Amino acid sequence: MARRIALFLAPLAATAMLVVAQAAGPAPLPVADFSLAHPRADLTEKDKARVGSVTAPTQDFSAPERFEAMSGGAGTSKAPVNADAFSHFSANITFEEEETFKLGNALFRKFWVSSPSSTQASDGLGPLFSARSCQSCHLKDGRGRPPAGGEAVSMFLRLARAPQTAEEREDVAAHRRLNLPDPVYGEQLQEFAVPGLTAEGRMRIDYDDVPFTFPDGEAVSLRSPHYAVLDLGYGPLDPATTLSPRVANPMIGMGLIQAIEPGDILSRADPEDADGDGISGRPAIVRDHRTKEPILGRFGWKAQNGSIRDQVSSAFAGDIGISTPDLPRPEGDCTDRQADCLAMPNGVQPRLGDTEAPDPVMDLVTFYSENLAVPQRRDVDDPTVLRGKALFYGAGCPACHVPKYVTSRQAANKAQAFQLIWPYSDFLLHDMGEGLADGQAVGEADGREWRTPPLWGIGLTQAVSNHQFFLHDGRARSLTEAILWHGGEAERARDAFAALPAEDRAALIRFLESL
């Protein structure tokens, strides 16, 4: 076994082998399977009736629904609420899998170093990079935040431009590319560089105050961000390049999201708004990094990744500059216009493998990411929470924030098979209005569209991440502000929330805080 991970794998070589099958991700879907009518083949007729009954929207808000507190099914964590609430393994994995989870956690937290280095199992950083470890962005496995002052935190700028040639347009249409990078700076602004190399620049954020007054007279101030790049190290950005800020998403429940049957997501899509409700969610179709087959996008702010493994390989490549078998680019995000970057040594050691993070490393980090437990809900029977839940439904929020699913019986990870889960998302792309638009197309998503983020765990943001910044760029400083930024397809729900009396608005927020 490669020396690169020997320190982590030697005690549990056999355990590591079982991860390969479990971390493989969802089977690629044939193109024909992306129809919106896609019945579940994993269920018997009796099971279909049971699943239909248990996932039907509730009409009774006088008491909690059965199993509502167990947001992540049998794997739900019942650990005390503290800063580690997002860092526990699923409660229903085996003892051997717990050890594998801990190995993955060690790699998730590991700091990578520049090449060459005596620690050959850890070199290969960059040469240009945004973070030195996975944990640097996903601190405590939680939600990222905008920087305050000059600190480096878990937020970055995606760089992209629209296709300009027939060949580029064909590549995007065929899902071979999500979009086109800046010709000099690549796909992401890298604010750090290894010794001897110039960093690409630094992000600057300025905010305008946007006053908002509720019909009952209560006034709040929203903040509208503006982004720029200072101290560009390699000349100007292409005039067509757009900037899209992204904070790191929480890590919990990813394996359960992966275990949702594609048909259950596709069946909720209504791209032409055939039912006239103003909601026209669209599925994101992307290509698997390894097989190159089309699969359903589920992860990332624009659903740009179809599996947890793809999310991991994207982060290794784009954020840390580490090559993997799925994205074997030891130069990371260096472009052809950055000759000094391309000339820097990398961490590939032929005797250890063809990439800086070989398959065993990928398998372990994927397994860890797949098995972070969703915390148990709090106060599900509190009268104010129940009233807030009724108001959440009454405002139309579940049209996109779909409360519950039953995962596939055929899920690759058996701990996540046939589980009743409560993510509060449809995992589709929605037009969220001009206020939240970044102007950057990513695959199927245009510059106004975002994936509906799951809400489970959102009430623990302060406890885990020590802040309350929400939305894709952390502009919202409270859940109320986050709701008020909703536009486009969500405008009707936002207006319904704004029209509520202050006491009812507080109850709805209290419900969200219980998730």
360-388 pLDDT per residue, tens? 999 999 999 999 999 999 999 999 999 99
- 23 and 255 Cβ atoms separated by less than 8 Å: no
User: What is the structure's pLDDT at 1?
Assistant: 38
Q: Give percent of the chain with pLDDT exceeding 70.
A: 92
User: What is the structure's pLDDT at 116?
Assistant: 87
What's the total number of domains in the chain?
1
Range of the domain at 106: 3-513
Tokens representing residue 251 in the block: 């890590």
| Helices 308-315/359-370 angle, 10° precision | 120
Give the tens place of pLDDT for each residue, 392-420. 999 999 999 999 999 999 999 999 999 99
Question: Taking Cα atoms as reference points, which of 209, 197, 207, 199 lies closest to residue 230?
Answer: 199
- With 50 as the cut, is the pLDDT of residue 9 above it? no
Give the tens place of pLDDT for each residue, 97-108. 999 999 999 999
Give the tens place of pLDDT for each residue, 201-245. 999 999 999 999 999 999 999 999 999 999 999 999 999 999 999
For residues 484-499, average pLDDT: 98
pLDDT tier, 19 (very low <50, low <70, confident <90, very high otherwise): very low
Which DSSP letter does residue 174 get? T
Residue 231 CB neighbour total at 10 angstroms: 11
| Helices 13-22/95-109 angle, 10° precision | 90
Long-range contacts of 266-270 (CB under 8 A, 24+ apart): 266/34, 266/35, 266/36, 266/38, 266/296, 267/36, 267/37, 267/38, 268/402, 268/426, 268/428, 269/36, 269/428, 270/36
- With 50 as the cut, is the pLDDT of residue 6 above it? no
Residue 215 CB neighbour total at 10 angstroms: 10
**pTM of the predicted structure, to 2 decimals:** 0.93
- 316 and 477 Cβ atoms separated by less than 8 Å: no
Give the tens place of pLDDT for each residue, 303-321. 999 999 999 999 999 999 9
187 vs 31, higher pLDDT: 187
Q: Give percent of the chain with pLDDT exceeding 90.
A: 88
495 vs 15, higher pLDDT: 495
- With 60 as the cut, is the pLDDT of residue 75 above it? yes
Give the strand pairing for 405-406 and 420-421. Answer: antiparallel
- 86 and 72 Cβ atoms separated by less than 8 Å: no
